[in-house]
Every structure is written in C-alpha cells, then in structure tokens.
Amino acid sequence: MATIAIGSDHAGPEAKSHIKDMLESIGETVIDCGTQGPQSVDYPDYAQKVGQLIQTGAADWGVLICGTGIGISIAANKMKGIRAALCHNPMTAQMARAHNNANVLCLGARVLEPATMLELVRVFRETTFEGGRHQNRIDKIHQLEE
C-alpha cells in the first residue's frame, strides 16, 4: 500500500474528503494537508505541502485540487522532482503515469463531476510507469530543474 498526500484550496475540500475516504477504504494511508473549509486560501501553499511530503519520501504520490486544477498544477510543478499532471479523463490520468511518471494528480473541483474525480484517482493509482523510452524524457525534465 502507498502513502498519498492530498491537498486542496477552498474550492476542493468536499472533493478532497471523498477522495480521501475512497483511498482509505481500500487500505491506503492518506495524509490530509488541508484546507478544510470554504475560506479563501492560496493554492501554492497546499501544492508546497503535498510536494514536500513527496520530496522527502513521506508520501509516495499526491492529489491536488483547486477550482480548475490549473493553478495548483503550475505551483506544484515549480518544485524539484514533482511531476504534477492536470487530468480530465481516464486516458490523461493513465498516460500521466504510464508515460510521464507523474507523482501528483491535479483535479479541478469546479470542472469535474465527483464520480469522474474518483475514477481519475483510481486510474492514476492503478497505472505504473512504463519506463523504456519514456525514462529518457523524464531524465531530460530533471535536467531542466538544474
């Protein structure tokens, strides 16, 4: 089983709660990085919290949620070693893991239905990195961080 860090801004606490419940129901350990309510907060703070847990190895991968998923994915991708993918359908979630070795799934609470978000988390969780020709591309991404 994996340890998953999950965080959201004020647009995503309800979605975050559903995702957390689903992951815990299948035996995953979930670290909830907040936020818990509808008061306006800054999404980079939650991207940083989740990203740091992945960087330190305290979490295996993460889920981040904001209104569209765009802002929180941009923020997360500023962190060394974080490959955050904004996904909208099962194929993008699968390819994010299989080809890009994404370690953070980003979702938009205002643009996706709750059932779709759960499905994307399931697909992301169940998909493994294919390696091979894709590893060279991941290595080049890491070079960009230097």
Condensed to tens digits (0 to 9), the pLDDT of residues 130-140 reads 999 999 999 99
Within 8 A by CB and 6+ apart from 143, the residues are: none
Whether 10 is catalytic: no
Q: Which fold has domain 3-145?
A: Ribose 5-phosphate Isomerase B; Chain: A, (3.40.1400)
pLDDT of residue 146: 86
Query: pTM score, two decimals?
Result: 0.97
- Compute the average pLDDT of residues 3-27: 98
**What type of residue sits at position 141?**
I
Rounded Cα gap, residues 53 and 116, in angstroms = 26
pLDDT of residue 108: 98
Could you tell me what percent of the chain has a pLDDT over 70?
100
Catalytic entry in 10, 18, 99, 134: 99
Domain residues of the chain, as ranges?
3-145
Instruction: Give the pLDDT confidence of 49-61 residue by residue, as tens digits.
Output: 999 999 999 999 9
**What type of residue sits at position 137?**
R
